[in-house]
Amino acid sequence: MNYTSAEMMVVTAARMLKNGDRVFVGIGMPNLAVNLAKRLHAPDVHMIFEAGVIGAKPSRLPLSIGDPCLVTGAGSVCSMFDVFAFYLQRGLIDIGFLGAAQVDRFGNLNSTVIGSYERPKARLAGSGGACDIACLAKKVFVLIPHEKRRLPEKVDFITSPGFLGGRAERSSLGLEGGPDTVITNKGVLRYDETGEMILTSIHPGVTVDEVLASTGWALKVSSTLEITPEPNDEELRILREELDPTGVYLGGAVV
Amino acid sequence: MNYTSAEMMVVTAARMLKNGDRVFVGIGMPNLAVNLAKRLHAPDVHMIFEAGVIGAKPSRLPLSIGDPCLVTGAGSVCSMFDVFAFYLQRGLIDIGFLGAAQVDRFGNLNSTVIGSYERPKARLAGSGGACDIACLAKKVFVLIPHEKRRLPEKVDFITSPGFLGGRAERSSLGLEGGPDTVITNKGVLRYDETGEMILTSIHPGVTVDEVLASTGWALKVSSTLEITPEPNDEELRILREELDPTGVYLGGAVV
Amino acid sequence: MKQAKVMSLGKAVSELVHDGDTVYLAGFTHLIPFAAGHEIIRQQKRNLTLCRATPDLIYDQMVAAGCARKLVFSWAGNPGVGLLRSIRKAVEQGELEIEEYTHYGMTARLMAGATNMPFYPLISNLGSDLPSVNKEIRYVTCPYTGKRISVVPALKPDVSIIHVQRADRHGNAHIWGIVGEQKEAAFAASRVILTAEEIVPDEVIASDPNRTLIPGMIVDAVVEVPWCAHPSYAQGYYDRDNQFYIEYEEISKDPENLSKWLDTWVYGVTDRREYMERLPADRVLALQGRRRYSYPVDYGYYA
Amino acid sequence: MKQAKVMSLGKAVSELVHDGDTVYLAGFTHLIPFAAGHEIIRQQKRNLTLCRATPDLIYDQMVAAGCARKLVFSWAGNPGVGLLRSIRKAVEQGELEIEEYTHYGMTARLMAGATNMPFYPLISNLGSDLPSVNKEIRYVTCPYTGKRISVVPALKPDVSIIHVQRADRHGNAHIWGIVGEQKEAAFAASRVILTAEEIVPDEVIASDPNRTLIPGMIVDAVVEVPWCAHPSYAQGYYDRDNQFYIEYEEISKDPENLSKWLDTWVYGVTDRREYMERLPADRVLALQGRRRYSYPVDYGYYA
């Protein structure tokens, strides 16, 4: 079958969503994943946007997280304060999707700076809601291209806490939930009992060596490593014909 | 001229309001006072109700503070939290009207219990918003019948702080604003530089001795004591014909 | 799959309100769910902790009927009329435990509960005797100003009962007029029973998402109960029955009298429909206002 | 007597925005008051501290035009497109001071400012490196649970500029769609400039007081500015001009190019009307959605 890395990632993410899940979702691939799941096995997934939109039913693919198409016909619209306080902090969010410039061995995320904070090699957009989501969502899913510089042993700056130095350190701060799954263009990674990332699945055609060579530390590999199931025809049809007909997000290589 | 004590109190209160004042108002006499002022010298007084109604334009005399007539056509309606946090605590309230079972020498108010808290002689309704208003309004106006048991030297229970033991004690808690005026059926009382109540005006036909005999401590009397001006025809006409045509609040003696 | 949430009030109360629960029947004067309180009385729930800023007549009746162990409140009166006599008597006789705050304190407690923050700071309570009789009112020091700030603890009811004007079958609800503490009480609770004057088609609610104060996501039961709030009111549906509030002063003066009233109007009916059958038509008609519609807004459709 | 609040945008900015002010042009994607930002650029205001969760293109332009000394923010990007190049360059070259929070932190700061509470507690920032580079993120200990809770300080802008769909001449304003942080930013500020797509008769606003998020009481200037938000949007009035957001990436890549753009579209026009005259009609027409009205609600008239 013919599909892009982005399609593989989106389909893999979509399959992990359960019906009824309340998902804090961004634009791009996470948005496609949730919409795909809603059209298949999880029609009652709730899409929650940090702009304050609850239960969005978008009529088109939004460019920004605050697009007017997210509002019309939505379940509810509230203030930005409310979405963070009454939904996220209240404990209503099952899954938060996050992107980042870097994710490290313990699932800590960086979206602030490459290099030092005071003299950055590159200044990035900053936390936005990412740190809040990383503190408060029950599970965090990360979608990221699999490259050594993006999966370093330690991020340059912890914008959003994962397990910090391990599960115990996160717990000691009183934080629940946390990192759950990382989906890259090469495979699927989860976390072991210490909070360290572990490769649990590789995508068809990808080798373990290739994954290890693209990771910034000696990545653990699960003893029950699987091959990620490929996208099926129906999934690809929905993605290509209904959700991203112009190929904005899925057209080429990984975004 | 012929008028009741209640009319005297309402007219006196109305005359103290300035155009543009933002008034946190209850039902009954304060409501009448504000409406009277709006029809005369202070058309732009803002009426704010703890039910969350801002700029009410009631079409009838409301029995309760949450009457539907307060809502229709109002300037804005917000939650109860918002009215306390975004208006009162924000510092937007110039004048708060409070009633109470007792007011003491330093303007402390009791609306909780007569007797001890644990074994009350009479259990009253409690603070409601009174303590909040007493802490946060720039000026507190109190309307109360002038009786010894209602103006004791010290209230049985401080529901709502006045000056506590004097202005310095209130300031030491970081509280601004505070007691400003007490209007009774016998006169008008304000506060001196120490925060102690002082008689500044007596109503026509009332003697100072009568006031002193009806007060629970040796009440100070201003050296420039005045006679409260009587209600005029226009004020009485508006009160009787427009605001309280059935005499619910103004018919008889003081409520 | 989605569970059917629409059910009878009897079933909702039976399944979601348990003896010993902390319950919050919301409403500041407006939209007080009297019918739900009566159903709780009929089902003889016991040892409830009743919470609300303004207990109003319905909590007075629930106390008289023996449902309550404790009252958490800020103002216990019959607005514009007088006292709540059953509550007052129970308190004076030591039969009802109380825990009291200011209005701002009660709503701040709900804000904390609704947002899963263990406390909420407010500039109030200072100088008052309230903190001396309620040790749950505490203090923190502001790390910017060094000021002592009073705080109240989160209130998290086991169940909140919220009456609204209109909702869809999923529990997405529109409320307008005085919105009191309905939203905060709903989010603060573990379980939510939503009663509505009308269950309307989904598209009515979806046409105005900014008015959807309660999202279906947090609602466990949706019950259509016309006139649920009487003698309280529902803006745009029926007026407050002020006459009843005044009459209640007489009804509740004598406990036996109140007991008879409960026999007739609560125990003597099976539900709100039967209650409404007993009310004279002219009384109900007198509570109808004239129509006064909001100007609609255009949300636009962007595709 | 009531002061006339309705005035031109030029007068409002001239009288209410001063050099050195802390300003907040509100809007989370929606209702961003671009026209007001351009007026600030034209009036050459200097040394401003620009605050907003999402600075967006308008702050990028204001930084490029030399208006800003400092940026307080939580996410500085061009949503769905990329970076804000002028801001990024100014930060990397040390020409723009920054102070950054999380989104929740920024909105919590406004909540504190709007309610005159010196701090606001939130469960976030823990474990992050943000508190190590921003000493304004501090902690309190919860007096109920003993937990360490992060707090942020109140944000109180000197002036907030709030764009709304419709308002009356007193500044009572209806907002719908994404309501972001408009209400909190308005209440937090010392002065408020309200821009509106339409100034409508008083009775339109009064017909739906629950939708009045901004009360006239806190508004200093009311300005009618149709298309004020373009290329951001006004729900029900015009769509987001996503094409411009994408084009801005090119425009801003080269500072000289951006400078030319500012010459044409900001310095080269006197106001928003002239800006709109330069936009091609087909571009504007493409931003019109189909009508999608809310169902009205009945407030009733009770007399």
Chain B hits for D117, Cβ within 8 Å: 85, 89
Residues C28 and B66 sit within 8 Å (Cβ to Cβ): yes
Residue type, C79: P
Is C187 at the interface with chain B, CB within 8 A?
A: no
Asked if CATH classification 3.40.1080.10 holds for the domain at A5-243, the reply, yes or no, is: yes
| Among candidate residues B29, B147, B156, B153, the one with its CA nearest the CA of residue B99 | B29
Q: CB–CB of C33/C270 below 8 Å? A: no
Q: Which residues contact C149 (CB under 8 A, 6 or more apart)?
A: C121, C122, C123, C139, C140, C141, C142, D117, D118
At B255 the pLDDT is 31
pLDDT at C2 over 60: no
Catalytic residue of the set A50, A118, A147, A176? A50
- Partner residue opposite C115 with nearest CB, options A67, A68, A90: A90
Give contacts of B140 with chain C, Cβ < 8 Å.
none
Query: What is the mean predicted confidence (pLDDT) over C118-129?
Result: 98
Average pLDDT, chain C: 96
pLDDT single digits (tens) C208-250: 999 999 999 999 999 999 999 999 999 999 999 999 999 999 9
Structure tokens at C296: 């609609």
Helix (H, G, I), strand (E, B) or coil at A42: coil
Q: Is residue C255 within a helix (H) or strand (E), and if so which, with residue range?
A: helix C255-262
Contact in structure between C104 and C270 (CB atoms under 8 Å): no
Tens of pLDDT, residues D144-187? 999 999 999 999 999 999 999 999 999 999 999 999 999 999 99
Q: Is it true that the peptide bond before C209 is cis, omega within 30 degrees of 0?
A: no
Q: What is residue A180's predicted lDDT score, i.e. its pLDDT?
A: 98
Helix (H) or strand (E) holding D90: helix D85-92
Predicted local distance difference test score (pLDDT) of residue C228: 98
Distance of residue A87 Cα from the nearest chain C Cα, in angstroms: 7
By C-alpha distance, the chain B residue nearest D207 is B73
Mean pLDDT of D276-284: 95
Give the separation between CA C286 and CA D19, rounded to whole angstroms. Answer: 60
Pairing relation of β-strands A22-24 and A95-98?
parallel
D9 in the Ramachandran plot: left (φ > 0), alpha (ψ -120 to 50) or beta? Answer: alpha
The values of phi and psi at residue B33, to 5°, are -60, -45
Block residue for tokens 């190929």: A247
**Which pLDDT does position A26 carry in this prediction?**
78
Average pLDDT of chain D is 96
Residue C92: its chain B contacts at CB < 8 A? Answer: 120, 122-123
Helix (H/G/I), strand (E/B), else coil: C82 = strand
The pLDDT assigned to C3 comes to 61
Q: Would the CB atoms of B76 and D212 count as touching at under 8 Å?
A: yes
Alpha-carbon distance of C212 to C174, in angstroms, equals 5
SS3 D301: strand
Minimal Cα distance from C300: which residue of A? A72
Give residues with Cβ within 8 angstroms of C188, minimum separation 6. Answer: C24, C110, C112, C113, C114, C154, C155, C156, C157, C160
Q: How far apart are CA C63 and CA C85, in angstroms?
A: 10
Based on the number of CB atoms within 10 Å of its own CB, is B200 exposed (0-12), middle (13-18) or buried (19 or more)? Answer: buried
How many other C-beta atoms lie within 10 A of the C-beta of residue A99?
Answer: 18
Query: A100: which residues sit within 8 A by CB, 6+ positions away?
Result: A109, A110, A111, A130, A142, A144, A159, A160
Largest CA distance in chain A: 49
Cβ-defined contact of D178 to A71 (cutoff 8 Å): yes
Q: What is the mean pLDDT of residues D268-285?
A: 96
Check residue B253 and give its pLDDT.
Answer: 41
Q: With the CA atoms of D61, D62, D64 and D68 taken in that order, what torsion angle do they form, in degrees rounded to the nearest 10?
A: -150
Decide: helix, strand or coil at residue B6: helix
Residue reference for tokens 């506590």? B164
Residues comprising chain B, all counted: 255
Average pLDDT for residues B190-199, to the nearest whole number?
Answer: 98
The one-character DSSP state at B27 is: S
Quick one: average pLDDT of B147-170? 98
Q: Please say whether the beta carbons of B190 and B216 come within 8 A.
A: no
Buried b (16+ CB within 10 A) or exposed e, C256-267: eebeebbeebbe
3-state secondary structure A129-165: CHHHHHHHCCEEEEECCCCCCCCECCCCCCCECCCCC
- Distance from the Cα of B162 to chain D's closest Cα (Å) equals 21
Are D and C close enough to touch, i.e. 3+ CB pairs under 8 angstroms? yes
Contact between residue A196 and residue A105 where contact means Cβ atoms under 8 Å apart: yes
Separation of alpha carbons C74 and D131, rounded Å: 38
**Which residues of chain B neighbour C108 with C-beta distances below 8 Å?**
81, 84-85
Q: What is the pLDDT of residue A156?
A: 98
Axis crossing angle, helix A29-39 with helix A5-16, rounded to the nearest 10: 50
- DSSP state for residue D210 in the 8-state scheme: G
In the prediction, which pLDDT does A250 show? 77
- C292 contact residues in B (CB cutoff 8 A): 72-73
A78 and D179 in contact by Cβ < 8 A?
yes
User: What phi and psi, each to the nearest 5 degrees, are found at residue B20?
Assistant: 90, -10
Give φ, ψ of D9 to 5 degrees: -65, -35
**pLDDT reported for residue A245:** 84
Burial (Cβ within 10 Å: 0-12, 13-18, ≥19) of residue B79: buried
Residue by residue, pLDDT tens for chain A (255 residues) are 689 999 999 999 999 999 999 999 877 888 899 999 999 999 999 999 999 999 998 888 888 888 999 999 999 999 999 999 999 999 999 999 999 999 999 999 999 999 999 988 999 999 999 999 999 999 999 999 999 999 999 999 999 999 999 999 999 999 999 999 999 999 999 999 999 999 999 999 999 999 999 999 999 999 999 999 999 999 999 999 988 888 777 765 433
Query: In the structure, what pLDDT confidence band is assigned to residue B62 with cuts at 50, 70 and 90?
Result: confident
User: Within 10 Å of residue C94's Cβ, how many Cβ atoms?
Assistant: 9
State how far Cα B162 lies from the chain centre.
13
Q: Can you tell me whether residue D232 is helix, strand or coil?
A: coil
DSSP letter at A249 equals T
Task: Specify the 3-state DSSP secondary structure of C7.
Answer: coil
Helix (H) or strand (E) holding B220: strand B220-227
Please report the pLDDT score of residue D92 as a whole number: 85
Q: Is the pLDDT of residue C1 over 60?
A: no
Distance CA B165, CA B163 (A): 6
CB within 8 A of D6, min separation 6: which ones?
D169, D199, D221, D222, D223, D224
Is residue D105 predicted with pLDDT exceeding 50? yes
Helix, strand and coil in chain D, % to nearest 5: 35, 25, 40
- Which residue carries 């100072």 as its tokens? B208
C145 close to C188: Cβ distance less than 8 angstroms: no
Residues of A in contact with C114 (CB under 8 A): 85-86, 90
Closest to A130 in 3D by CA, of D236, D104, B182, C40: D104
Collapsed DSSP state (helix, strand, coil) of residue B241: helix
Q: Which candidate, B211, B189, B255, places its Cα nearest to that of B12? A: B189
Inter-chain touch A75–C301, beta carbons under 8 Å: no
Distance from CA of A230 to the nearest CA of C (A): 26
Cβ under 8 Å to B: C residues 116-155: 122-130, 133, 147-148
Number of H helices, E strands in chain C: 12, 14
The residues that bridge with D105 in the sheet, in sequence order, are none
Neighbors of chain B by Cβ distance (3+ pairs < 8 Å): C, D
pLDDT value for A64: 84
Rounded Cα–Cα distance for residues C37 and C25 (Å): 8
- Assess contact for B167 and B173: CB atoms under 8 A: no
- Closest CB to A63: pick one of D100, D107, D245: D245
For D2-118+154-287, CATH gives: 3.40.1080.10
